[in-house]
Structure 1
Amino acid sequence: MKQVLRIASLSGLAMSAGCVNTQPNTFTFTADLPPDFAYEAAVYYVPAPGETCTVETRYNKAPVFNREWRKAYKPDSEIVIRRTRMGCPLVISRIELEIYSAYGKDWSDISHDSANVVIRDELEAQYKGMFSEAGESTFYGQCQWLFRTSGKPRILRKILDCKKTNPQGELGRGRPFSAYTLDQLPGKTVRMKIKLADEERPAIGDTWVKVPNGWKRCLGKHFEDQYAFCYGNYQDFSGFQMPDGQRCTIYPGCTE
């Protein structure tokens, strides 16, 4: 009798195990970025489909990945798909991404631009990212440095400008972006692949003049002129200061 009960008990456990959902509750987000670039990812959640509960925004945000990217950066982030907060079942809704890079050593010599991943219960086919047989989906973008001067010393500052592209590198409209449905994500990998444009360009038009070996800064009305548009004067130029304090007359080579 004991043997029969033991077999029945084991059979019941096996049947129970067979009913458990074995799908992973996470997926991996990763990025291929240019040298000295990093991303920061903030993950947001909403009540699961069919739920009527609500959770304040401060409770539906997961810890930010790579918040201290200048000190410790990890390209792979394991992201939870479903979680419960304040008794409310939640599902991932979006990942807000910031792409960072530093152009100088000072804490303020950095710039960033945004990218996004959106997750929905359902999506129209044309908006839905696709996964390979290996379980990976990649979306693409390109970042470009824009340069300008600011302040009375005309210190060079740089701005990061990122746009989405197709796999062939052709620029599209808007920031790097992809979208998926909840049922696509368990156990998969979403990869953001960003390249850096070969050339930098002025952030503001009609302020620099292209010359054979770089760019020269128009003088404007006088050196203290903060806007310093060229206005057709392509003969009078001013020097400027690099973030490290070096005085220059041409960018990026510094000296002609």
Structure 2
Amino acid sequence: MKRLIRTAIPGFCLAFTAGCASSQPNTFTFTADLPPDFVYQAIAKYVPAEGETCSVPGGRNTAVGYNMNWRENYQPTAEIALRRTVSGCPLIINRIELDINATYGKARGDFDADVASVFIRNEVEDQYKSIVNEADESSFYGECQWLFRTSGKPRILRKLLNCKTIDAQGERGTSQPFAAFTPDQLPGKTVKMHIKLADEERPAIGNTWVKVPNGWKRCMGKGFEDQDAYCFGNYKDFSGFQMVDGRQCTIYPGCTE
């Protein structure tokens, strides 16, 4: 009896292929090392595998989410499939879209987010290609910084999150944190995102706060109705503001001078 032989994509051995000596896992592990009060959400997106002419009607079910309910059930480690079949169409992972969420207060809206990405392509330029070490792990790094501003007539302090890549020396780059792999790098491996929090915060909008020896003071502008309240050279008239916990303050971050 002839053995049944099916053409397999290099690096992957189909379980139903007769005479297949070994097979590689169809999953890899994604995890993250994040500062306190940080979590991530991930959406793994899939496209038809190379050489496939099929499509998924409406693109339905071609993405898988992780930690979508992060407030109630956050899991730092996810097992992500490399290949899936949806509506009879063989798909391969194309990218992972990551939201880095960080909270700075107790109210539901006291958080902000920035993004990171993992790209999976058949070809990746050497300068961008991530390395998997002998322990079957690959890491990429970023630094997030809080940017503060005030909002509304009470001038309530709000924060924005800004995340960038960092190099081996800890210098911030210009792009958001990312990693890039070819599919054959990932079976059974672990990809880890490392995010650190910058030591200092800074104003989200220039020329609206003034640096003083023990913090930052908010320029008054034309009054509390002036939402922009640029300094415009007036570094003597300052306004108070309200912390998210309700405290009335005159300086950030210490609140009182």
The TM-score with structure 1 as length reference comes to: 0.91
Match of 1:177 in 2: 178
CA drift of 1:72 comes to 1.8
% identity of equivalent residues: 67
CA distance in 2, matches of 1:247, 1:57: 50
Change (3 A) 1:189 1:50: same
In the other structure, the counterpart of 1:131 is 132
Q: How does 1:14-163 map to 2 (within 5 A)?
A: 19=20, 21-55=22-56, 56-62=58-64, 64-163=65-164
- Tell me which residue corresponds to 1:7: none
Show the counterpart of 1:220.
221
Distance 1:21 1:102 in 2: 46
Counterpart in 2 of 1:195? 196
One-letter amino acid of the structure 2 residue matched with residue 188 of structure 1? K
Q: 1:111 and 1:18 mapped to 2: Cα distance?
A: 53
Letter in 1 for 2:187: P
Matches of 2:91 and 2:219, distance apart in 1: 55
**Compared with structure 1, are the counterparts of its residues 20 and 52 closer, same or farther at alpha carbon in structure 2 (3 Å cutoff)?**
farther
- TM-superposed deviation, 1:183: 0.5
Higher mean C-alpha displacement, 213-222 vs 162-171: 162-171
Bigger Cα displacement from structure 2, 51-60 vs 101-110: 51-60
- Structure with greater proportional helix content: 1
Deviations 1:31-70 (Å, cap 9, x if unpaired)? 11111100000000000111001123332111x1111112
1:229 is matched with 230
Residues 17 and 168 (structure 1), Cα distance of their counterparts in 2 relative to 1, 3 Å cut: farther
Deviation at 1:173, TM superposition (A): 1.5
Larger of the two Rg values belongs to structure:
1
Distance, in Å, in 1 between the alignment partners of 2:161 and 2:46 is 28
Write the deviation string for residues 177-221 of structure 1: whole angstroms up to 9, x where unpaired. Answer: 110000100000011111100000000000000111110000001
Amino acid in structure 1 at the alignment position of 2:150? T
Corresponding position of 1:247:
248
The one-letter amino acid of 2:60's match is R
Q: Which structure 1 segments of 5+ residues have no match?
A: 1-15
Per the TM alignment, residue 243 of structure 1 is displaced from its structure 2 partner at its CA by 0.8
Q: Distance in 2 between matches of 1:220 and 1:57?
A: 50
Q: In structure 2, list runs of 5 or more residues that go unmatched.
A: 1-16
Quote how far apart the aligned CAs of 1:79 are.
Answer: 0.2
1: CA distance, partners of 2:179 / 2:173: 13
Any idea what SS the aligned residue of 2:127 has? helix
SS of alignment partner, residue 19 of structure 1: coil
CA–CA distance in 2 between the matches of 1:71 and 1:212? Answer: 41
In 1: Cα distance, 2:74 partner to 2:168 partner: 26
Q: Quick one: distance in 2 between partners of 1:82 and 1:20?
A: 20
Instruction: After superposing the two structures, state which structure 1 stretch, 167-176 or 109-118, moved more.
Output: 167-176
2 CA distance for matches of 1:39 and 1:72? 12
Tell me which residue corresponds to 2:11.
none
Shift of 1:17: 6.9
Residue 123 of structure 1: how far off its partner (Å): 1.8
- 1:160 and 1:116 map into 2 onto residues whose CA distance is 16
Q: CA deviation at 1:20?
A: 5.2
C-alpha separation between the residues in 2 aligned to 1:157 and 1:148? 5
